[in-house]
Amino acid sequence: MTQQTNAAYDLVVFGATSFVGRILTRYLLDTYGLNREVSWAIAGRSEARLTGLKGDLGPAAQDLPVVIADASDDQSLAALCQQARVVVSTVGPYALYGEPLVRACVDTGTDYCDLTGEVQWIRRMIQRYEAQAQASGARIVHCCGFDSIPSDLGVWFLQQQAEQTFGRPCQDVRMRVKVAKGGLSGGTVASMINIAREAASDSALRKELANPFSICPPEHRSEARQPSLKSPQYDPTFDAWLAPFVMGAINTRVVHRSNALMQARYGREFTYDEAMMTGRGLAGRARAYGVTAALAAFFAASALRPSRWLLEKWVPQPGEGPSPEAQEAGFYDLRFVGRTEDGRTLITKVTGDRDPGYGSTARMLGEAAMTLAFDIPADQAGGFWTPASLLDGALLERLRSRAGLSFEVLETR
């Protein structure tokens, strides 16, 4: 192992001047301050912009260290990693800009987390670098934002409760978004458009994106048919209509990888899917059809160059996103229904008190980095992990106590 042990900083935020990076640095400053519980720094390619960020953060950030590094400069990224125990990256789309930093962390044995939801890029990183990460001791944890911590930790929490209550895990789990209020940023939209662009010209990628086990180890497979809601459907459990949930394509893959990395703790034939509730009766049904049509139109437009050009002019641009007031007004409520093989049912919920994509995501990302830095044993193996398989209960408690998330049992029967 060459994992960093005498680094100058516990964690470094790379891409600190990005939209999410700014929210994250404010959260870390307000929550942990400087030179108290955690030694941390901000990093990016522009010293002027980083200095401007410090000014925006106020007098408390006067002594916040700055590290200059460029996502396209391997030497500067290596120097960055040598100064950090954990690197937190907010520089996306990761499929376009993320690989050099992952490679540098793997080379130097530096722990890493990000908020990507780009499953095709995660797959490439695992294929190219997992063996090397295992050798160097680098723990790489993707998907530490709204996609996919609430889903991944939500299933982990439900299964913990099922084992305590029923003596066994739930073989089938369904997540339903009861409500989510929050805006989109340009970074998220750019990542979604890039996935559609890549898939439009690559039939192998389209096949991979349709595989629920695409980021699982090759030996982890199931004979059970995995549910995948692609059209409006009525859900009798909640007496509500359902529409596809846009983040389900990444969240389901992460949950299955967690199960695989935990030696099929949820069961070899475990099934999981996600959808969003649109309401009851005719109005709920109409909204379900409307959401489904809107998602189909977005991805169709993203796949074709002329319509993609028009779409990129209309949607938020990278660096843009909801206002601080909108972030604080946002929230989400996710419901999980688990059923055991012998028919018993457990219903839980996960809630967050900020908008899911940015206010809450920044907090989750910050606490994932803190968990990596302070709560994971130094001898824990390197490799490509998931939030639930590596950070598990330690992260859940941090999310509860600091990040505004709740995990609750609603009903057993």
pLDDT in tens, 105-131: 999 999 999 999 899 999 999 999 999
pLDDT at 1: 46
- Per the structure block, which two tokens stand in for 150? 């609430």
Place of tokens 């909640």: 238
pLDDT at 5: 62
Buried b (16+ CB within 10 A) or exposed e, 370-392: bbbbebbeeeeebbbbbbbbbbb
Residue 283, Cβ neighbours under 10 Å: how many?
Answer: 11
pLDDT at 183: 65
Question: What is the reported pTM?
Answer: 0.94
Q: Which residues of the chain have pLDDT under 50?
A: 1
